[in-house]
Amino acid sequence: MKWLLLGIVVVTTVLADLLQSREMKIAAAEKGDQFGFGPLLKAIGTRPRLILAIACLAVSFFAFLALVQTQPLSFAVPASAATFVIETVLARLVLNEQVDARRAAGALLVLGGIVLLGR
């Protein structure tokens, strides 16, 4: 059950982060220096993809609550770092960010840590 909950946390977090990153860049580019917390709150209420991101975070949050109820915090949080590896790959594929050899090596180190956590 813990791996199912962890899977839900990871998938919803990845989706939320990608949507947030993309939408916040667009919103900030539209507003320029005027992009304070007022426009930020307005963007959350008016941009469907940001609303979807918040919904994903809500699912992630409740799955995380269930996870920390039965598992040590020192397992739940580092294990959810799996999001980092997936987001690095998707940042390259979806957000067109640059992923070089060092970045790939870093992602593998994170993966090694997660595998070690699960033993």
Residues that bind another protein (CB under 8 A): 1, 17-18, 20-21, 24-25, 27-28, 33, 35, 37, 40-41, 44, 54, 57, 61-62, 64-66, 68-70, 72-78, 81, 84, 87-88, 91, 95, 97-98, 100, 102-103, 105-114, 116-117, 119
How near is the Cβ of 99 to another protein at its closest, in Å? Answer: 8
Phi, psi at residue 37, to the nearest 5°? -75, -25
Contact in structure between 15 and 60 (CB atoms under 8 Å): no
Sign of CA dihedral 34, 38, 42, 44: positive
How near is the Cβ of 11 to another protein at its closest, in Å? Answer: 16
Find tokens 């949507």 and name the residue. Answer: 19
